[in-house]
Amino acid sequence: MVVYDVADMSKWISLLRLPKYELAIGITWVSNTRLVVEKGKKYGSIDKPLATGEVIATDLDGKHQDYLYGYQSSYGTRAATRGGDEGAGFVAGVPTPVNSHFYMTTYSWSSKDFSTLYDVDAVKNTRHMIGQIHVGALSFMVGADGKAHYAYGRNADWDYVMYHQQDGGWAKMALAQVGSFTPLFFTPDQQRIYATYSASGGPATLVEQDENGGNRKLLAGDSFSSIGTMEVTAPPYQPFATTLATGVPQFKYLDADSPPAKLHRALSLKFPGSYVHFINFSEDGSKLLFSVSSDRDPGSYFLIDTKNYKVVKLFSTEPWIDPAKMAERRPLRFKTSDGTELEAILTIPKDASLANLPMILVPHGGPTDVQDDWFFDDDAQFLASRGYLVLQVNFRGSSGRGANFKQSGYRQWGTGIQRDLIDAVKWAITEKYADPQRICIYGASFGGYSAMMAPIRAPGMFKCAIGYAGIYDMAMRYKKGDTQESKIGRSALRIEMGDDPTELAANSPVNLASKIDVPVLLIHGEDDQRAPFAHAKAMRAALDAAHKPYEWLSKPGEGHGFYDEKNNIEFYNLLQTFIAKHIGPGVNTN
């Protein structure tokens, strides 16, 4: 983690080195000179960072580092008095104005059925409890009064629960009150709150309401899509614009004449075709950090002085990418065979007409509560640059459309989700976007599972299948992998994937290898913790037993997706060679 002086981005002030695979997943300034860092681990390039629950503090120059909370309770200035402090901590907010304190939610290993909220002095490493509830793994919402007003989240049984602080105690809110309600922050007068809300499990909307849930006012919403990104003012915070979680982002301004909305529109005009996101303001509102990104641009960061409107570019996330050479990503909608309307995203090779193109179906991972969106996608752009149309599908179970849509994907790994993917390919063929004789499927994680299952469910549709870091034996998830290591993880598996042995076996590619009628490529990291290497070895053994052709690439030291540059080069060269071997070269690749 590097701290820069924005006056000269070629020089850094301090450098915090973290162990292999570790990274800062949360950075919070608690004063002008001190910041709090939440640590996480990422065990592979396609893996979501997993919070370790460790919270540390450091001065901006790298001095006065202190371990505030985590499983290594022997570290830090107060280690001698916190021997039983082992657990996980997370930043829950900061006071306004900042005063070197922050709010921290903790889950102690010795008290797993409790969630505790502290006010922490990040300089002195002292803290005092300001809230506690006898339910584990909940989040808190803190008011300007420094008190916990809500506790919410999924309990150990994976049920969503919500509690409100009333008369000095916690009152559980009824499901009819909760819906998919998530409190965000108080209105500037502290009399009402902003929240996302859906009473019926439909797409999440943005609302303003009394703290007890009364007098709810709809600010933004849509019948198909949940609210996506929300743009927020400087303190005291107010949302001033929203976009939807699906489609090409279009801003809805809550008050088009407000100064933040006018500034946002002006900046958007300076970057046509791009998404301008206000990341945060300085506390006095005089400086604004914002990003600019698009389907063809991974993004750049800028600083603007809101007094004289001088804009300074700070850095680009991937400066080696030339947006002018990248492909358009086009979100479209189609209906499945059972009448469900879904979103598909097509990445169209540059300078190619959308007609009869060789196509790669790329299912996303998850599968639950994950989605593909319009923004820059490395794999899609790689394949499109090789002349292939790329089809991605937000199948049932994906995020972005509310609880009902997410839950419609439960226990549908090998059935309903695969039908959605297959229906999407049929739609692309019917619309004459794709050449039906030149279609492959490539996916990672759950997408790797789908890369094996879709050809099983739709014989003759695909010409090749590539599984990267895939799950191939559903029952194995209850025995190996990081998900099954906690009660809440096992509860999630049972609800989202199912636990009936017969059902798991009937939907596991390792038991259906004889039905795979296409050449297969399997790629896996041998140190994968999310989808253990045993999955790939079991799939390979099943293909051997069924006398099915396949190619193989595994690498020691790699996790859920390759990190090493040499390994990635080998992987992508093999990927493009394998696809070209089975469906021919892409268009415009001379």
| Alpha-carbon gap, residue 116 to 140, rounded angstroms | 9
**Tokens 């947006």 — which residue?**
323
Q: What is the pLDDT of residue 84?
A: 77
Buried/exposed code over 36-66 (b: 16+ C-beta within 10 A; e: otherwise): bbbbbbbbbbbbbbebbbbbbbbbbeeeeeb
Q: What is the pLDDT of residue 42?
A: 84
Q: What is the pLDDT of residue 313?
A: 95
Please compute the mean of the pLDDT values over residues 149-168 and round it to a whole number. 86
Q: What is the pLDDT of residue 318?
A: 96
Q: What is the pLDDT of residue 380?
A: 98
CB 128 within 8 A of CB 138: no
How far, rounded to the nearest angstrom, does the alpha carbon of residue 258 sit from its chain's CA centroid? Answer: 31
Looking at per-residue confidence, does 59 or 160 come out higher? 59
Q: What is the pLDDT of residue 77?
A: 86
The count of residues in the chain is 590
Amino acid at 40: G
Under the banding of pLDDT at 50, 70 and 90, the label for residue 322 is very high
Per-residue pLDDT of 159-172, as tens digits, reads 888 899 988 899 99
Per-residue pLDDT of 402-453, as tens digits, reads 989 999 999 999 999 999 999 999 999 999 999 999 999 999 999 999 999 9
> Which H helix or E strand runs over 102?
strand 101-108
Token pair for 48 = 């979501």
| Alpha-carbon gap, residue 538 to 472, rounded angstroms | 8
pTM: 0.93
pLDDT of 484 > 90? The answer is no
Average pLDDT, rounded, for the chain? 93
Under the banding of pLDDT at 50, 70 and 90, the label for residue 7 is confident
Give the C-alpha distances (Å, rounded to integers) separating 388 from 361, 362, 589: 10, 12, 10
3-state secondary structure 233-264: CCCCCCEEEEEECCCCCCCEECCCCCHHHHHH
Domains observed in the chain: 179-321 (no CATH), 327-583 (3.40.50.1820)
| Alpha-carbon gap, residue 355 to 358, rounded angstroms | 9
Report the candidate in 63, 117, 123 with the shortest Cα–Cα distance to residue 92. Answer: 117
Phi, psi of 21 (to 5 degrees): 75, -10
Report the candidate in 40, 562, 43, 9 with the shortest Cα–Cα distance to residue 319. Answer: 9
Maximum average pLDDT range among 172-181, 454-463, 469-478 = 454-463
Please compute the mean of the pLDDT values over residues 370-377 and round it to a whole number. 97
Secondary structure of residue 570 in the 3-state scheme: helix
Q: Which of 106-120, 167-181, 522-536, 549-563 has the lowest mean pLDDT?
A: 167-181
pLDDT of 352 > 90? The answer is yes
| Alpha-carbon gap, residue 147 to 130, rounded angstroms | 6
Phi, psi of 473 (to 5 degrees): -130, 105
Give the contacts of 80 (CB within 8 A, at least 6 positions apart). Answer: none
| Alpha-carbon gap, residue 232 to 385, rounded angstroms | 36
CB 172 within 8 A of CB 162: yes
Report the candidate in 153, 118, 111, 157 with the shortest Cα–Cα distance to residue 134. Answer: 111
pLDDT of 177 > 80? The answer is no
Per-residue pLDDT of 13-45, as tens digits, reads 999 888 888 899 999 999 999 999 999 988 888
Q: Which of 103-117, 275-289, 352-366, 483-497 has the lowest mean pLDDT?
A: 483-497
HSE-CB at 165 with a 13 A cutoff on CA atoms is 15
- Alpha-carbon Rg for the chain, nearest whole angstrom, is 25
HSE-CB at 127 with a 13 A cutoff on CA atoms is 23
Per-residue pLDDT of 183-227, as tens digits, reads 999 999 999 999 999 878 899 999 999 988 889 999 999 999 999
- High-pLDDT (> 70) share of the chain, %: 97
How far, rounded to the nearest angstrom, does the alpha carbon of residue 386 sit from its chain's CA centroid? Answer: 27
The stretches of 462-552 forming alpha helices (DSSP H) are 487-496, 501-506, 533-545
Please compute the mean of the pLDDT values over residues 257-263 and round it to a whole number. 95
- High-pLDDT (> 90) share of the chain, %: 78
Give the contacts of 55 (CB within 8 A, at least 6 positions apart). Answer: 36, 37, 38, 39, 67, 68, 69, 70, 89, 90, 91, 104
Q: Taking CA 229 as the corner, what is the angle to CA 195 and CA 263, rounded to the nearest 5 degrees?
A: 105
Secondary structure of residue 126 in the 3-state scheme: strand
